[in-house]
Amino acid sequence: MDMYEKLTILTDAAKYDVACTSSGISRGSRGGLGTAVAAGICHSWSADGRCISLLKVLFTNYCRYDCAFCINRKSNDVPRAAFTPRELADLTIEFYRRNYIEGLFISSGVLKNADYTMEQMIKCVRILRQEYGFNGYIHAKAIPGASRQLVEIMGSLVDRVSVNIELPSEASLKKLAPQKSKANILTPMKTIADGQAQAKYEMVKYRHAPRFAPAGQSTQMIIGASEESDFHILRLSQALYDKYKLKRVFFSAYIPLNDDRLLPAKDTKPPLLREHRLYQADWLLRFYGFRAEEILSEQDSMFNPLLDPKCNWALNNMHLFPVEVNTAPYEMLLRVPGIGVTGARRIVAARKMAWLDFDRLKKMGIVLKRAQYFIICKGKAAQYVTIDKEKAAQMLISTSAKDNFNITAGDVTQLSFFDTDRLNEKYITAKAERMVVNV
Amino acid sequence: MSENQKVMYIYDGSFEGFLCCVYNFYYNRLKPAGIISRADFTPSFYENLMIETDYEQVYKVRFAIEEKLGRRNLEFLTGCFLTCLEEKEMYMLRYVVKGFRVGPGIINHLSDRDVSVLFKAHRHLEREQHHFLGWVRFYKAGDVYVSKIEPKNQILPLIAWHFTNRFADQPFMIYDATHKQALIYSRGDYRIIRADDIQMPQVSEDEKRTQQLWKNFYDTIAIKERYNPKCRMNFMPKRTWANLTEMQDQTDNTGREVVKI
């Protein structure tokens, strides 16, 4: 098999992995090839609008496991291939020298057993790091069930290690990925977290202490293949951030690849809106000081498809608004829909120099489209705006959302906003209708 | 010449030249109708004032800015000078004048028009600078890796550090076709030269094979169920495609023509 074909098969098999970030670590040149930039660099964007930063391939797509949702499961009849460690290392270098990529993202199907697979991956990474002196970014997946020593070796060689949690609950895991278990996913996760904690501790004591997966660990789970609620997923992510100090949790909308009675029907559309809402909420957890329990609750466990989580939260907590831009603390500014970290910081800096009014906010680049319903300047609301929950809600639902859901302006006030089940239903029928038209 | 008459400042187009304009504004008390570089000069109704770059003046103005407005503002202004903002020199002059009145805090005076215009232009520069860290595409010609880019702002001086560090062991050239400049690096030493007419070398057969692998990777990595060309265009505008290897039309493995959409 030539390289062209191999690369096609193993890229095709890896494309459902979400993470492609190269951020979190800054490393200068060592005179040879490669550096790492803390902010991460995107090199290209593929036709689905996802960024390409790393050479994302599987080491092999031969797999002993038979996970229901996976394209590479044992029982699927797909073309199989495997790189040799050197082939993959050489390809990475060739791409890197042309500035196509920021580094390598290596994952793999399970050959023979978890340990053997990890050893092969480590071989490839060793060639890159030790033989070629490659100093760029490497993200490796730890194979669930691999031994502790191997995970530790991997962690000492690469920038980021991650273990996929795959599904948001143990029950779904048992059902859809019977050969994986909560224990053999969480154990390597723990090993990585421990390794990092120890490296951090040693760093304080010894200046040249070796670093361990300095860009942190991440994980990903599939949304919509099993029945967990958004609230459940969000709380799980929060726990992962708290407990294992994860850098990122990625969500991947389920794309039906296999016909399986345990899975949603094959013509199901990937739940892209749901994935989008989860990411929005994930940002609120990581950068805006929100807790999962504030965003959703046991009773209200699904996201509102019409409103982003922050708007939804604000409308439910109207008693905290409006906020006076000139005096409000930074934390409160952050909670205003439409104002983000950059905006809030800019306001805090600029209000030291002059009183801010709406014109000035605009000049500073603060987008008032959503924010205007929640803020006042020098005691006054924006022109023609009254601070009112119902009106704000009407304005915040974008026209495109109204189109999507077949909702007329009159409908908005009648519909209970938080009746998400009905909205979801409406969304699905509307989408189905449009699909019929398209056909 | 009366007190209020405006004149057209004409300088050599360098940042140092601009600093001399600032010096002249303070010491000759002539209001500028505009500040243009010699290269862009077109006759106008205004009288012209030729500004010669004098390093004593440069030193004085630079020192004054650093002393009174701080390093951050000096860096901000140096950056602004690389932007593609129209009449940037006038905005910058007004910024300096206001700055001397307000102090180092001028940079936070975002509700002021001159400051916010410069701030936006500077942000545009910074973003473009960051984007091009990813968008430069080299190909190998002999022992040298070459690349052509067409940015809106003059980003070469800003990205030089990144590329010379990252590719410390490979000689390379990045040609900025918009501003006719080239960054040349070899063995730990780099310089940016004026390059009015550069013929990019041919892509060799060997190189084509590597490019083919990359294009193939690019096409395969997209999930077709999630096809979203608008989203891609937001991140990677069409004007950049001309210089991106993966966005060139190509023939696939079987020799069939694949047209990029």
B138, B131 Cβ separation under 8 angstroms:
no
User: Is A230 a residue whose pLDDT tops 60?
Assistant: yes
Q: Can you list the residues of chain B whose pLDDT is less than 50?
A: 253, 261
Number of H helices, E strands in chain A: 18, 10
Would you state the pLDDT for residue A398?
A: 67
Q: How many CB atoms lie within 10 A of CB A13?
A: 25
Nearest-CA distance A324 → chain B (Å):
17
Would you state the pLDDT for residue A166?
A: 87
The single-letter code of the amino acid at B72 is: R
**Of A436 and B225, which is predicted with more confidence?**
B225
User: Is A428 a residue whose pLDDT tops 60?
Assistant: no
- Residue B37 near chain A (CB below 8 Å): no
Annotate B204-227 with b (16+ C-beta within 10 A) or e (fewer): eeebeebbbbbbbbbbbbbbeebe
Question: How do residues A379-404 score in pLDDT, each as one tens digit?
Answer: 888 888 888 888 888 888 866 666 66
Domain A3-295 annotated CATH 3.40.50.300: no
Report d(CA A352, CA A178) in Å as an integer.
Answer: 59
Nearest-CA distance B15 → chain A (Å):
27
User: Is A409 a residue whose pLDDT tops 80?
Assistant: no
Q: How many CB atoms lie within 10 A of CB B86?
A: 9
Residue B234 with chain A: CB contacts under 8 Å:
49
Residue B224 with chain A: CB contacts under 8 Å:
47-48
- ipTM of this predicted structure: 0.89
Question: How do residues A340-381 score in pLDDT, each as one tens digit?
Answer: 999 999 999 989 888 999 998 988 889 998 999 999 999 888
Element (H or E) spanning A221, and its range? Answer: strand A217-223
Contact B169 A31 (CB under 8 A): yes
Question: How do residues A96-115 score in pLDDT, each as one tens digit?
Answer: 999 999 999 999 999 889 99
Annotate A304-342 with b (16+ C-beta within 10 A) or e (fewer): bbbbbbbbbbbbbebeebbbebbebeeeebbbbbbbbee
DSSP secondary structure letters along A333-355? HHTSTT--HHHHHHHHHHTTTS-
Q: Which of B133, B229, B235 sits opposite A41 (nearest CB)?
A: B133
Q: Where are the domains of chain A?
A: 3-295, 309-438
- Residue A354 near chain B (CB below 8 Å): yes
Annotate B37-59 with b (16+ C-beta within 10 A) or e (fewer): eeeeeeeeeeeebebebeeebbe
Nearest-CA distance B117 → chain A (Å):
9
B214, A3 Cβ separation under 8 angstroms:
no
Report d(CA A20, CA B257) in Å as an integer.
Answer: 29
- Nearest Cα residue in chain B from A33: B167
Would you state the pLDDT for residue B2?
A: 54
Residue B140 with chain A: CB contacts under 8 Å:
97-98
* Average pLDDT of the residues in A195-209: 84
The model's confidence at residue A439, banded by pLDDT at 50, 70 and 90, is very low
The model's confidence at residue A200, banded by pLDDT at 50, 70 and 90, is confident
Contact A44 B236 (CB under 8 A): yes
